Structure 1
Amino acid sequence: MKQFKKKFLSGSLIIFSLSLLINLFFTEKSLLASDESKKFKDCEICPEMVVIPPGEFQMGSELTEEVLGLTRTEGPVHKRIISKRFAVGIFEVSNKEFKSFIDSTNYRPSQSCTKWKGKVIQFDGNWLDPDYGREPKDNEPVVCVSWYDAKAYTVWLSGITHQKYRLLSEAEWEYIAKNNNNYKWAWGDKASDACKYSNVFDIDGKKSNYAEKFATWDPTNCLDGFERVAPVGSFSPNKFGVYDITGNVWEWMEDCSEAEYKNGQLDEKPNQVRGHCEKRSVKGGSWLSKISRHRPSFRGRDPENLSSHIFGFRIAKDL
């Protein structure tokens, strides 16, 4: 009997060891597959995310841009280090995703919006009526949202998932947009290639009644197929698997914007100031923006309570 128990225990140990090895093999294989895809959703109504690896890049540029009669700088050029991986929304937050937030919380977002008609004017539209001349579609990026509205969405998403959702920092956004290259634009050095990757102010846009009357700058010499806003993901993604990182709508950043970058800052953290933040950073350009505003280094800045029919947002998440 003792010998039988000894053999039984010995055999069981071998079977257990083999089982453990098999489980480890498939677990490791599953993890590798998961890491390779890098895409995930934390819930059914959550935006799809992609994991961004750590790295470093040169932030800013030596170029300047005239904005409302003032010269806006983009420097000094300096190294930034993305010290740890994080996740970012593959797409800009859509109307459908924002509606889930409104329906769940009864949150009251901005009830007025600004639009460009030769100058910035206020109108009584909101995210449900952004002056498209039609109803916005579920799969189009939400617009007419302020920085506060974007932040409120991330707070809600964090609450229902018990995860840390937030807005991107300016450094994180530029790291994604430049995607390990030094091109003038996210897609390369030729402005005419924009329409393969971005919804920009192009020949289609110039033909529209709206742009023909109110846009005073030249269109980009290409055709992207959209006169105004486009559904999210309508163009090719970049190397990180992120869509519409430039174009379609401007994206609110976490940063409090200042005229020049802080001396000596190397990390990916958003710029913060003591007391009230006068303006927040916005990046990426829109379907109505001149092509130079689509450069990854261009720095938009606007009051955090502003909502506009060309402003939306994208989310990030700590891992």
Structure 2
Amino acid sequence: VGEGHESRRSIGQEQWEMYRAEKERPADVAEFVEVDEDGNKRKVAVTSEGEAKEFCWWLVSKGIAAGVLTENFEALPLMDVAFSNAGLSERAKKENLRPFRCRVQPIAFGRIVLTTEPSGADVFLKTPDPTLNTYIGKTNGQLTIGELRPGDVHFEVVLEGYKSQTRKVTLTRGEMQELHLKLQLNNSVVMDKPWENGLGMKFVPLGPDFMASIWETRVRDYDAFVRANNLASGSTADFTQGPDHPIVYVSREDAEAFCVWLTKVEREQERLTQVTEYRLPTDYEWSLMADLKEQADVSPARRDSVRAKDFLWGVEWPPPLVDGKAVANLADVTASRAPGSPANRTIRNYDDGFEKTSPVGSFAPNRLGIYDLCGNVHEWVSDNYSPASTSGVLRGGGWNTYQEQNLYTGARNTQPPKFRDSIYGFRVVLAKVPPVPENPPAEDGTETDG
């Protein structure tokens, strides 16, 4: 009939039982009534329209799996609303259960033509599971969202610095709707401008898709995560720390959990959109933050094997004073005065004034405006050391670091991702989703761990 095909007879008991068994539907979703068709008696299924639709979807899926239909086809139930039979039960009459035939036909897709003010917004088709939302494109002029099934269509419009908008559009078969949305300014991040988040963490842009926290994650930041999630404790340092000191005794997994939590919170507050997230930097991104140019498509192990012998402050050793001030919080004269800190594990004649950790930002930043990329705490990155390694990577050295080779800007410290210590912390980045993946090939000649 037309572009479709209709079954000649109502769905019978045998077909229904195949569907019910395969889809594990309860027995009482249908009843069976005997009918006389041209002198032949057979039993047909009587059911609700909703269950009939499920049967039709199952029928189409079977046809697609068998290769006789494509995903551009649909099946609709044709309910026999005038059906009358002495065999209908009182329940069937009360619940309006009826026999039905199936019509298989090409889907008459609809489309939406969308513009936004301002333009350049990202558009996503929404699903009940947000992780399965589909990216459509940007509204640079008119954006056509095509191949839409008739019915309700939910989509979200996202633009940095503006309130996200979600819309529901109901399309009839083959319908085209034009829609113009005027977006409203809000306090969300704009990736190419310096930004401060809800915890007071400050970020500087390092490109259109990537921002770095200017500080290591502080005790006050991590304590907010601990309180919100009813965790056992926040800072567990065995020495005195203030709220602006870097959090310590955190594993890579702890740091990643903090990033997931903060992303969720700030999306709910509409500070972030679904296309931005907090996470740990990759090893390569950490080098970018430190203004260190390294090869992008290899592992940290490979980069480590060719590291340059220079420091964040230059090539001079021991660390110099710059404008009369120490350059970083390292293992120094002050640290050697602490109980259990031997003088031979400090940098001779270097004094930064801090025995253990220091408040973030206590020393001069690099030219990108980022602090403590050398010293204070070793910082977790997201990579493993090499394709063959299960060890994580930390960068930058810490308040305990005194050896020259461990303070080169390109030095890596390898530890199990679950490991915690009083010298290990982390820094977060804010980036577009997903990050550019680092998938180095298998490498010959690099060690499993550093």
Higher relative contact order (CA 8 A, sep 6+): 1
Matches within 5 A, 1:87-102: 87-102=211-226
* 1:108 Cα deviation from its structure 2 partner: 4.5
For 2:264, what is the secondary structure of its paired residue? helix
Kindly provide the amino acid, as one letter, of the partner of residue 262 in structure 2.
L
Cα distance per residue 1:275-309 (max 9 Å; x no partner)? xx621111111111124212111111100110000
* 1:242 alignment partner in structure 2: 370
Kindly provide the amino acid, as one letter, of the partner of residue 144 in structure 1.
Y
Matches within 5 A, 1:279-318: 279-292=391-404, 293-318=406-431
Cα distance per residue 1:138-182 (max 9 Å; x no partner)? 010000011110000000011112231100111111122135697
For 2:212, what is the secondary structure of its paired residue? strand
Are 1:193 and 2:320 matched, yes or no? yes
Give the distance between the partners of 2:192 and 2:383, measured in 1 at CA: 30
Kindly provide the amino acid, as one letter, of the partner of residue 87 in structure 1.
M
Are 1:150 and 2:255 matched, yes or no? yes
Matches within 5 A, 1:1-319: 38-43=193-198, 45-53=199-207, 85-108=209-232, 127-132=234-239, 134=240, 136-162=241-267, 163-178=276-291, 184-191=310-317, 192-193=319-320, 196-212=326-342, 216-258=344-386, 278-292=390-404, 293-319=406-432
For 2:320, what is the secondary structure of its paired residue? helix
* 1:97 Cα deviation from its structure 2 partner: 0.4
* 2:161 alignment partner in structure 1: none
User: Which runs of 5 or more residues in structure 1 are unaligned?
Assistant: 1-33, 54-83, 110-126, 259-271
TM-score by structure 2 length? 0.45
Cα distance per residue 1:32-91 (max 9 Å; x no partner)? xx9999421232x152111113xxxxxxxxxxxxxxxxxxxxxxxxxxxxxx64111110
Kindly provide the amino acid, as one letter, of the partner of residue 169 in structure 1.
T
Kindly provide the amino acid, as one letter, of the partner of residue 41 in structure 1.
E
Kindly provide the amino acid, as one letter, of the partner of residue 246 in structure 2.
P
TM-score by structure 1 length? 0.62
- Whether contact under 8 Å (1:197, 1:237) holds in the other structure is no
For 1:174, what is the secondary structure of its paired residue? helix
Give the distance between the partners of 1:302 and 1:175, measured in 2 at CA: 22
For 2:417, what is the secondary structure of its paired residue? coil
Give the distance between the partners of 1:39 and 1:177, measured in 2 at CA: 18
Give the distance between the partners of 1:159 and 1:129, measured in 2 at CA: 25
* 1:207 Cα deviation from its structure 2 partner: 2.5
Q: Classify 1:151/1:193 alpha carbon distance in 2 versus 1 (closer, same or farther; 3 Å).
A: same
For 1:154, what is the secondary structure of its paired residue? helix
User: Which runs of 5 or more residues in structure 2 are unaligned?
Assistant: 1-188, 268-275, 295-307, 433-450
Give the distance between the partners of 1:164 and 1:152, measured in 2 at CA: 12
* 1:216 Cα deviation from its structure 2 partner: 4.5
Q: Say what the alpha-carbon RMSD is for the aligned residues.
A: 2.6
Give the distance between the partners of 2:257 and 2:423, measured in 1 at CA: 19
> Over alpha carbons, which structure has the higher Rg?
2
Kindly provide the amino acid, as one letter, of the partner of residue 49 in structure 1.
F
* 1:19 alignment partner in structure 2: none
Give the distance between the partners of 1:242 and 1:220, measured in 2 at CA: 27
Give the distance between the partners of 1:219 and 1:173, measured in 2 at CA: 25
- Whether contact under 8 Å (1:206, 1:219) holds in the other structure is no
Kindly provide the amino acid, as one letter, of the partner of residue 89 in structure 1.
S
Q: Classify 1:300/1:164 alpha carbon distance in 2 versus 1 (closer, same or farther; 3 Å).
A: same
Identity of aligned residues (%): 27
Q: Classify 1:179/1:236 alpha carbon distance in 2 versus 1 (closer, same or farther; 3 Å).
A: farther
- Whether contact under 8 Å (2:191, 2:210) holds in the other structure is no
* 1:121 alignment partner in structure 2: none
For 2:341, what is the secondary structure of its paired residue? helix
Q: Which has the larger strand fraction?
A: 2
For 2:287, what is the secondary structure of its paired residue? helix
Moved more, 281-290 or 170-179: 170-179
- Whether contact under 8 Å (1:205, 1:219) holds in the other structure is no
